[in-house]
Amino acid sequence: MNTIKTLAQKYLFSGKAFYAQLLTLALPIIIQNFIGSSLNMVDTVMIGRLGETEIAAVGLANQFFLLFILIINGIHSGCGVFIAQFWGQGEKESIKKVLGLGLLAAVVVSLLFTIVALFYPESIVNIFNKDPQVIREGAVYLKVVSLSYVLTAISIGFGMASRSIGNTVLPMVVSALALGCNTFLNYVLIFGHFGAPQLGVEGAAIATAIARLVEMLVMVTLIYVRSDVLRVRLRDLVGISSEYVEKVFKTILPVVLNEGCWGLAFVVYSGVYGHISTQAFAAIQITNTIQNLFTVAIFGMASASAVMVGHKIGEGNEEEGEVYAWRFSALSWLSGLLIGALMAVSTPAILSLFNVSTAVYNSALRIQYITSLIMVIRVFNIVQIVGVLRGGGDVRFSLAAEATTMWCIGVPLAFFGAFTLRLPVEGVVALVMFEEVAKFTAIIFRLISRRWIKNLVHGMVLCEEQG
């Protein structure tokens, strides 16, 4: 009992500065995510008023954007590992070099995606659907939106860099402004209000492109006016050695692969559930929506943990960085228990808001109860993979843990449960949960080993000066 009290005092009930910094970093991210979820739902409702074909066209066209955004997030998240550690080390000029490399890589990737979308939009939508009208509408949407890909990559880059140095308010404010602009323009251009032409799906695409232009312009203006640290210029990239570039991209690549691995597995899971039945897929879609609302705060905590742990490792204060890691672990366990309990209690009331059949309702209810039981483990895994381990520089282990458990355990069990055992969708979901248990076990052993602590920026400045 005394041991438990001592651990609780060390990891939960001490460190006022820790909790003050956590609140400062996480709260704006949580608010931003809530705003984004709410306004995106409004956008979906607006497009949905046009008809099923239109909403399907936009949704399918956005699958291409999902792949794009995962790669861009991977590039900038990998750079964020370095930026957080450089910030802890006090190396501001090195932050500009890494940010510049990340922006350059992201712009190149964005241009490639833009070219493909502009010249082959019908082929892209055709991958997901064979309805000629859906393909036609989706192609129109994709061509227009693809013009904003470069703008999106730049905004995300500066936003993530700002978070990595501890300023989470700026990306929150800019994102809220852009999302509000998008929603207003959707209302005007989709339906033809205030004298504007009624453009339907094309109007939604134009609204999105304009909103992303506004977001990029406001973000870059505020960064260059108010933040000397992130005010990157072309001259900051002059003279960077190949060894320096190689070290940066050796960290970025595993993060990109990690994001892509997760995204592709998510698509496979959706395909398996969809093949069980339409009702099964509907139940999954409903439960995913509900779970996303409950885990918004967790991704805020995960983002904050990446920054805070990264700062400590960059400072060379590895012992306190480890204390932070275990403190975040304890918080994630408590948060998981609380979220799981809230989900279980509130699920019947939430599901009653959906106009679905009894079969879909019952499947969704059982899936939510199963997820509630495993939520403590899922929350722990999110905080560690997205936050603590990345902040500590252990991106290769994060990739290995994610890829191995999803593709060697989760995906095979999904196929086995759905097509061999022919289980109902909730049974398949229960089988897939073994992936989370395996990931949890691997992470615990990694934390105990202390091999996750990797000061990636140590010696990089000296190496660059000598280069």
Confidence bin at 217 (pLDDT 50/70/90): very high
Query: Per-residue pLDDT tens for 151-173?
Result: 999 999 999 999 888 888 898 89
Above 70 in pLDDT, residue 6? no
Share of the chain above pLDDT 70, in %: 90
Above 80 in pLDDT, residue 43? no
Give the per-residue pLDDT at 252.
Answer: 84
Rounded mean pLDDT, 333-342: 94
Above 50 in pLDDT, residue 445? yes
Lowest mean pLDDT segment, chosen from 30-44, 163-177, 256-270: 30-44
Rounded mean pLDDT, 279-302: 81
Distances (CA, A) of 9 to 117, 175, 305, 330: 55, 38, 19, 11
Rounded mean pLDDT, 337-349: 93
Within its chain, how far is the Cα of 206 from the centroid? 24
Give the per-residue pLDDT at 243.
Answer: 81
Q: How high does pLDDT run on average in the chain?
A: 85
Is the distance from CB of 303 to CB of 163 less than 8 angstroms?
yes
Give the per-residue pLDDT at 1.
Answer: 53
Rounded mean pLDDT, 266-277: 80
Rounded mean pLDDT, 222-243: 83
- Rg of the chain, C-alpha, whole Å: 23
The whole-angstrom separation of Cα 263 and Cα 265 is: 6
Give the per-residue pLDDT at 435.
Answer: 94
* 0.85 surpassed by pTM: no
Distances (CA, A) of 21 to 117, 130, 441: 42, 51, 29
Rounded mean pLDDT, 400-425: 93
